[in-house]
């Protein structure tokens, strides 16, 4: 970066350089840019007067810095002299008075040299501000302390005096006020019995009378000498804490405004500190003068070098080898070593390293940004400014950080392990130790080979059919029932709404098990079908019979939620829309088509898409009704049945048959397809496009 002849402050105002040495370098750079063929020596000769002024400036600045060093060294002597003039017994007031006197002396010293440096100008104005405001803050504190001492003494005297008469007067007032309240409530009760006021008005008026009596009694009690003085004492103590804190905050805010308006000049042109300290977060902040902020980054440094990196190298692992365990997967290890443990600890190591990397990056980014600001002339934030910015804009990050960390380990960790397992030969023969096999599992699935080939595509087809028909049927039933119950001509709406909500209110597994028993070979519904048709029909032994019953059953179970959702939305539709439609001559069907359905779809589209996703992975109804059967080994092998969905198939494949590798691969395929389809559905919905999800 170039020196330039001007610098900018934090507000964006340009200021001429006061450091003549840097100004000379800026002029030389400017001339070199305009006349690139001229060398530096010739350019310097043309700026002979400026070069002489720069040399004189450097000498003057060095002399002033020596004077400054000697002046600051005499601060303890000045404090001894100040102590003779300050006799206040309060330690905080004495401290503020000493600081004000010292700041006045420093303001006078730096005020003589403000033309040399913007730093001296800032120090002069800053100390002048401190010297002006701290005495006022100390004066207010002394006044409050004096008043507090007086009130405390009065309170002690009041406690020693006889307060029996005042208390008796208060008790008499309290009893009179309670009697008055009782009489008022009796009058209200009389009006209520005569029918002049409603029951709701009666209850509201009684509450108002109780509240008014309580307020009057409390106000009278506070007029007692002891109570009044105690309240005054509490108020003064609050003022000591609150007013002083507010006054000091105002002082720091004023100083922050000065810092933003006063630039800084440094000779550095390249942000080398950020690169030099990249391996030690916090060191760069310390070198730039942000000592408090550096503490937080130093904690990150300790985390990286004492926790993350050692764990990634295998230190502190349960059985694994850190990040190297992902490569070996316990190959060649002892009998107790398991590949899944090595994999899990390897993923944990990566997560810890990623967190450490983010700390390193954030530290580097912070230092690099501040260095570039200083080169431009902008002063970096002190601790007060940093803390203010953090309180104002950092709350979302502080609030979400704990949940983000938890999410990493309870969501990201299982997902990452599942992804990695899909590339291994984790099967019944390799339960303890498995190895990497690349895309073999995915190849087997797509080509229809092996244990998961042909069944996968058959089950996928049925899962799609199930999802579309079962969910659409539930939405249709719930929507139609909501429309019917919402009609003004329907009587007994509460009764019907209660009946329609029963499938949702009753636990689903009870309903599923009930119908499973009813459709068993000797079940009542099976016998009924036999009596009606004259043939033995065993639904559970028929693939499509089981599938049709499952679709109908899920349509009924899922309709309650849709019914409740649509009922709430229908009741919120303004009646004015239908009245306007009636005036325009629209029929009931046209009103439903052009008013009711669009509003329902707009409000419920995201939730309806969620219903499709839920039924795609509806494990319980498949498992509880017929265990995924009936089973057809010629089509599905011994791992699945004709009514199994992908979710129940994955369960049997991984939990029952121990084919975790191929099961993880199927899980990944299903998840990606489901995410893609759900995203397509959301993105095409009107509520998503209008950002009203």
- 202-216, 272-286, 289-303, 668-682 — which is least confidently predicted? 668-682
Q: What angle do CA 96, 100, 106 make, to 5 degrees?
A: 140
Q: What angle do CA 510, 514, 515 make, to 5 degrees?
A: 125
> What would the mean pLDDT of 274-281 be, rounded to a whole number?
94
Residues 377 and 19: beta-carbon distance below 8 Å: no
pLDDT at position 62 is 93
Place 693 in a pLDDT band, splitting at 50, 70 and 90. very low
Judged against a pLDDT cut of 80, whether residue 132 lies above it is answered with yes
Q: For the chain, what percent of residues have pLDDT higher than 90?
A: 46
Say what the pTM is: 0.81
Q: Per residue in 390-419, pLDDT tens? A: 888 887 888 888 888 888 889 999 999 999
Q: How many CB atoms lie within 10 A of CB 569?
A: 17
Residues 562 and 474: beta-carbon distance below 8 Å: yes
Tell whether omega for the bond before 75 is within 30 degrees of 0, i.e. cis: no
Q: How far apart are CA 477 and CA 564, in angstroms?
A: 12
> What would the mean pLDDT of 320-327 be, rounded to a whole number?
89
pLDDT at position 687 is 53
Q: What letter would DSSP give residue 540?
A: G
Residues 6+ apart with CB under 8 A from 578: 591, 595
Q: What letter would DSSP give residue 6?
A: E
pLDDT at position 125 is 95
Q: How far apart are CA 546 and CA 155, in angstroms?
A: 86
Residues 229 and 151: beta-carbon distance below 8 Å: yes
Residue 8 is encoded by which pair of tokens? Answer: 């900018």
Q: How far apart are CA 121 and CA 127, in angstroms?
A: 10
> What would the mean pLDDT of 656-662 be, rounded to a whole number?
91
Tell the residue number behind the tokens 């006020």, with chain if given: 177
Report CA dihedral (254, 258, 260, 262) to the nearest 10 degrees.
Answer: 180
- 9-23, 30-44, 640-654, 661-675 — which is least confidently predicted? 30-44
> How does the average pLDDT of the chain come out, rounded?
87
Residues 6+ apart with CB under 8 A from 217: 173, 174, 177, 178
Place 279 in a pLDDT band, splitting at 50, 70 and 90. very high
The full DSSP string for 497-545 is: HHHHHHHHHS-HHHHHHHHHHHTSTTSHHHHHHHHHHSS---GGG-HHH
Q: How far apart are CA 463 and CA 447, in angstroms?
A: 19
Tell the residue number behind the tokens 């070593």, with chain if given: 337
pLDDT at position 692 is 46
Judged against a pLDDT cut of 60, whether residue 78 lies above it is answered with yes
Place 666 in a pLDDT band, splitting at 50, 70 and 90. very high
Q: How far apart are CA 137 and CA 90, in angstroms?
A: 13
Residues 6+ apart with CB under 8 A from 615: 466, 467, 470, 471, 474, 554, 558
Judged against a pLDDT cut of 90, whether residue 300 lies above it is answered with yes
Residues 296 and 359: beta-carbon distance below 8 Å: no
Q: Per residue in 556-579, pLDDT tens? A: 999 888 888 888 887 777 777 877
Residue 526 is encoded by which pair of tokens? Answer: 């099976």
pLDDT at position 46 is 64
Place 368 in a pLDDT band, splitting at 50, 70 and 90. very high
Q: How many CB atoms lie within 10 A of CB 480?
A: 14
């Amino acid at each position: 970066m170039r020196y330039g002849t001007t610098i900018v402050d934090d507000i964006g105002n340009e200021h001429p350089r006061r450091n003549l040495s840097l100004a000379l370098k800026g002029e030389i750079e400017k001339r070199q840019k305009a006349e690139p063929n001229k060398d530096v020596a010739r350019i310097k000769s043309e700026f002979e007067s400026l070069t002489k002024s720069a040399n004189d400036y450097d000498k003057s600045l060095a002399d002033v810095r020596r004077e400054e060093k000697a002046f600051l060294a005499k601060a303890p002597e000045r404090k001894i002299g100040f102590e003779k003039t300050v006799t206040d017994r309060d330690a905080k007031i004495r401290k503020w008075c000493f600081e004000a006197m010292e700041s006045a002396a420093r303001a006078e010293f730096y005020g003589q040299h403000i033309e040399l440096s913007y730093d001296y100008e800032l120090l002069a104005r800053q100390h002048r501000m401190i010297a002006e405001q701290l005495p006022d803050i100390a004066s207010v504190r002394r006044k409050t302390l004096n008043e507090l001492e007086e009130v405390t003494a009065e309170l002690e005297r009041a406690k020693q005096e006889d307060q029996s008469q005042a208390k008796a007067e208060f008790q008499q007032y309290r009893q009179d006020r309670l009697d008055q309240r009782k009489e008022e409530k009796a009058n209200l009760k009389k009006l209520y019995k005569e029918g002049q006021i409603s029951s709701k008005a009666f209850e509201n008026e009684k509450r108002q009378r109780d509240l008014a009596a309580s307020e009057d009694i409390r106000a009278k009690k506070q007029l007692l000498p002891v109570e009044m003085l105690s309240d005054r004492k509490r108020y003064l103590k609050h003022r000591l804490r609150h007013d002083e804190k507010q006054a000091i905050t105002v002082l720091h805010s004023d100083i922050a405004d000065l810092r933003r308006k006063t630039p800084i000049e440094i000779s550095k042109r390249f942000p080398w500190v950020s690169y030099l300290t990249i391996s030690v977060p916090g060191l760069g902040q310390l070198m730039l003068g942000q000592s408090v902020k550096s503490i937080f980054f130093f904690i990150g440094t300790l985390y990286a070098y004492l926790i993350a990196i050692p764990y990634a190298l295998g230190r502190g692992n349960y059985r694994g080898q850190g990040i190297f365990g992902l490569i070996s997967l316990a190959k060649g290890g002892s009998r107790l070593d398991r590949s899944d443990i090595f994999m899990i600890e390897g993923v944990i190591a990566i997560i810890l390293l990623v967190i450490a990397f983010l700390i390193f990056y954030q530290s580097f980014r912070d230092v690099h940004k501040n260095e570039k600001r200083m080169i431009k002339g902008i002063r970096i934030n002190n601790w007060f400014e940093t803390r203010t910015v953090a309180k104002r804009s950092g709350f979302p990050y502080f609030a979400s950080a704990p949940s983000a960390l938890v999410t990493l380990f309870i969501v990201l960790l299982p997902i990452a392990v599942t992804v990695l397992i899909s590339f291994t030969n984790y099967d019944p023969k390799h339960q303890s130790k498995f190895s990497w096999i690349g895309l073999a599992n995915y190849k087997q699935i797509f080509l229809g080979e092996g244990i998961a080939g042909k069944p996968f595509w058959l089950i996928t087809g049925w899962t799609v059919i199930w999802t579309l028909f079962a969910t659409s049927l539930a939405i249709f039933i719930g929507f139609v029932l909501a429309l019917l119950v919402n009609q003004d001509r329907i009587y007994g709406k509460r009764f019907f709404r209660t009946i329609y909500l029963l499938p949702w209110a009753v636990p689903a597994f009870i309903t599923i098990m009930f119908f499973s028993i009813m459709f068993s070979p000797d079940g009542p519904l099976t016998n009924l079908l036999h009596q009606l048709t004259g043939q033995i029909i065993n639904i559970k032994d028929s693939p499509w019979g089981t599938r049709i019953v499952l679709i109908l059953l899920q349509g009924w179970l899922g309709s309650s939620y849709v019914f409740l959702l649509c009922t709430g939305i229908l009741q919120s539709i303004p009646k004015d829309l239908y009245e306007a439609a009636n005036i325009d001559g629209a029929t009931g069907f046209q009103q439903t088509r052009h008013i009711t359905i669009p509003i329902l779809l707009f409000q419920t589209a995201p939730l309806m898409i969620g219903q499709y996703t839920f039924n795609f992975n509806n494990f319980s109804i498949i498992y509880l009704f017929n265990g995924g059967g009936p089973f057809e080994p010629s089509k599905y092998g011994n791992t699945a049945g004709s009514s199994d969905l992908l979710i129940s198939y994955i369960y049997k494949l991984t939990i029952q048959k121990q084919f975790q590798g191929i099961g993880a691969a199927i899980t990944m395929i299903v998840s990606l397809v489901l995410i893609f389809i759900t995203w397509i559905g959301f993105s095409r919905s009107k509520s998503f496009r209008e950002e009203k999800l």
